[in-house]
Amino acid sequence: MSSSPWPAENFTLAIIHAKLWTGLKHQDLAADAIGVRGENIALVGDSLTVLSRCDQATLVIDARQGMVVPGFSDCHCHFLDGGLRLLAVQLREVKTPADFAQAIAQKAAELAPGSWIMGGDWDHQQWGGSLPDKSWIDALTPLHPVWLNRLDGHMSLANSLALKLAGINSSTPSPGGGEIVRNEKGEPSGVFKDSAQNLIISHIPRRSSEENDRAVHAAMNYVAAHGVTEVHTMVTVDCACGLWPKNLGANAVAEDMEAAYEELAVYRRFHRQGLLKTRIRAALPLASWRRLRDDLEANGGGDDWLRLGCLKAMLDGSLGSHTAAMHEAYEDTPGYRGQFIWDPEILAGYIREASAAGLQVMVHAIGDRAIHEQLNMFERVARDSPQADHRFRIEHAQHIASEDIPRFARLGVIASLQMSHLADDGQWAEQAIGRKRLASSWPMKSLITSGARVALGSDWFVTRPSPLEGIHAAVSRATKDGKHPQGLIPEEKVSVEEALHGYTTGAAYASFAEHRRGSIEAGKLADLVLLDRDLRTIATEEIPQVQVLRTIIGGRVVFEKSR
């Protein structure tokens, strides 16, 4: 009836009268309670048994038939950047160029002259698809350099002052793996794509430690309110992501690499001071694999709160910026197939070396051509060391050629998906890549059916770090414009439980942590989320209304919804 490897001592925390979803294949259907001692789950059983081992010092939470699930892991986010954007200008919901400009004017009025206006997360599809232009904001920001990213991080807009500070003019060439967008006169419009963004980023002043601290605190509070207990954060410069074009120069490479390790230092400082209330799995730039190897040899791989050992790189861009590498041309851009940001041979060499050092590698690949090439790279490396447990990951894996879907399972490559991207990109993806390619986009059901491991995340700041929103997107496949009431490619819908596994057991496997978290069972970490209703028994359209009531990490309540 109950399971516990622990001596019969009283619990420090107990949850009773709950609808448990443990994540285990064979769940005790009579179990409705959890007993916790310290940081670990001590017993999973019935409420009477758990209550018999509580005393006045035990925090007893009556779930009142709410659903309790393992703590959610967000398997792909940009944690510090997400926190910074909570504190920056907000453009995600802006629907017109006029509103875009007004939001920037308002932020300029709030900041001291010379301060950079940053953040944004704009989406040009909201106002019909035309890219923003520096002319929209120049007159409103004569004293403020501006750098505003598109919501996917693959394009950003600079104003004329930012261009001047960076020394960019009509004769500045676009770097490899990126593009300086130009107007009809051949002058920079202010929009920079992918690696070209480094031309501006390298001139942005370093943030102060106080700014970083505020951002991390904001990020931890924000994800806790969404039931997230662990994040896999990409500690990489957004448009560099592990490798850099040669024409950026050695100094730029060194500066960007250092910025990633400065971010890691922030997390380490929070950990030393006992301030972390989100577990962090940090993915560092792939090109820094030697530095990470040496760091691990000197300091170890970390613990349950902060864990190192993985590396990330980026092979192509995004669908929204039309820089995702596709086998065939974009439907709305004849002759153009997107691009590789990095030379695949160089990338393959880094993967081989890092894997030989025992480090996990994950690579961003969105277009079908990029995914195919990345699977080829992983296959070659695995063939050279077939006994190793690589757990290679492809991040995003959005548009997979149908013949490549079975290769994930066959090669043991983890598909790290962000289903909430479907709700956004699915509104206009067909016009970009056509119905045929759309049919195997975000193919979560096909991947699971083929035996592949799937982990889920948000790509926050790109979409909100809400597993409930991700679960809804995976189960409904609805787009935000309401034009697909039966779901976009409904054959790829998954069950609620399959989506839950992506945020729990699948996430734990993707980070080599299945022995510590991902399921509710005695001996594992007491990372738990209490929801106000059972996801398994409600209508799909009700999922967005489900509330996170409590988030518990290591037996400690880090979020409680006010009533």
Residue that terminates a domain, selected from 169, 201, 233: 201
Residue 87 lies in a domain: yes
> CA 387 to CA 382: how far, in whole Å?
8
48 in the same domain as 142 = no
pLDDT of residue 241: 40
In this structure, the answer to whether residues 183 and 84 fall within a common structural domain is yes
Residue 49 lies in a domain: yes
Q: Is residue 237 part of a domain?
A: no
Same domain, 91 and 126: yes
Domain count along the chain = 2
CATH of residue 130's domain is 3.10.310.70
- pLDDT for residue 306: 98
Q: Which residues contact 557 (CB under 8 A, 6 or more apart)?
A: 59, 550, 551
Domain presence at residue 147: yes
Tell whether 132 and 156 lie within a shared domain: yes
Cα four-point dihedral sign 221, 223, 229, 234: negative
What backbone torsions phi and psi does residue 262 show, to the nearest 5 degrees?
Answer: -65, -40
Count CA atoms within 13 Å of residue 557 on its CB side.
15
Residues 197 and 105 in one domain: yes
Residues 45 and 91 in one domain: no
- Are 50 and 99 part of one and the same domain? no
pLDDT of residue 251: 54
pLDDT, tens digit only, all 563 positions of the chain: 445 555 568 999 999 999 999 999 988 888 999 999 999 999 999 999 999 999 999 999 999 999 999 999 999 999 999 999 898 898 988 999 999 999 999 999 998 999 999 988 899 988 988 999 999 999 999 999 999 999 888 899 999 999 999 999 999 999 988 899 999 999 999 999 988 998 998 899 888 899 999 999 999 999 999 999 999 999 965 444 434 443 444 455 566 678 889 999 999 999 999 999 999 999 999 989 999 999 999 999 999 999 999 999 999 999 988 999 999 999 999 999 999 988 899 999 999 999 999 999 999 999 999 999 999 999 999 999 888 999 999 999 999 999 999 999 999 999 999 999 999 999 999 999 999 999 999 999 999 999 999 999 999 998 999 999 999 999 999 999 999 999 999 999 999 999 999 999 999 999 999 999 999 999 999 999 999 999 999 999 999 999 999 999 999 999 999 86
Contact 238, 153 (CB under 8 A): yes
In a domain, 345, yes or no: no
**34 and 119 both lie in a single domain:** no
Which CA distances in Å does 175 have to 186, 313, 314?
A: 16, 18, 16
State the Cα torsion 59-65-66-67 to the nearest 10°.
Answer: 100
Q: What is the largest CA-CA distance in the chain?
A: 78
Residue ending a domain, choose from 201, 225, 258: 201
For residue 458, the tally of other CB atoms under 10 A from its CB is 28
Angle formed by the axes of helices 79-86 and 209-225, to 10°?
A: 90
Using DSSP bridges, classify how beta strands 33-37 and 13-16 pair: parallel, antiparallel or unpaired: antiparallel
pLDDT at 279: 98
- 64 and 138 together in one domain: no
CA atoms of 131 and 252, how far apart (whole Å): 27
Residue-wise DSSP of 181-207: EE-TTSSEEEEEEEGGGHHHHTTSPPP
Q: Among the three residues 177, 201, 225, which one is the final residue of a domain in this structure?
A: 201
pLDDT at residue 248, as a whole number: 44
CA distances from 138 to 134, 160, 381, 545 (A): 6, 6, 49, 41
User: Which uninterrupted H or E stretch holds 434?
Assistant: helix 429-438
**Whole-number Å distance between alpha carbons of 370 and 317:** 9
What single-letter DSSP state applies at residue 336? -
CATH code for the domain of 542:
2.30.40.10
For residues 119 and 100, give the distance between their C-alpha atoms in angstroms, rounded to a whole number.
13
pLDDT of res. 246? 39
The reply to whether 359 falls in a domain is no
Domain assignment of residue 466, yes or no = no
**Strands of the sheet with 279-285, listed across from one edge:** 72-77, 228-234, 279-285, 306-314, 360-365, 393-396, 414-417, 454-456
Q: Is the dihedral of CA 318, 322, 325, 328 positive or negative?
A: positive
Q: Write out the two tokens for 372.
A: 């195919």
| Same domain flag for 115 and 146 | yes
Residue 455 backbone dihedrals phi, psi, to 5 degrees: -120, 145
> The domain containing residue 54 runs over which residues?
13-70+523-560
What pLDDT is stored for residue 562 in this prediction? 84
Q: Tell me what pLDDT residue 254 has.
A: 64
Q: Do 87 and 157 fall within a single domain?
A: yes
pTM, two decimal places: 0.88
Structural domain includes residue 85 = yes
First to last CA, the chain: 34
Same domain, 88 and 193: yes
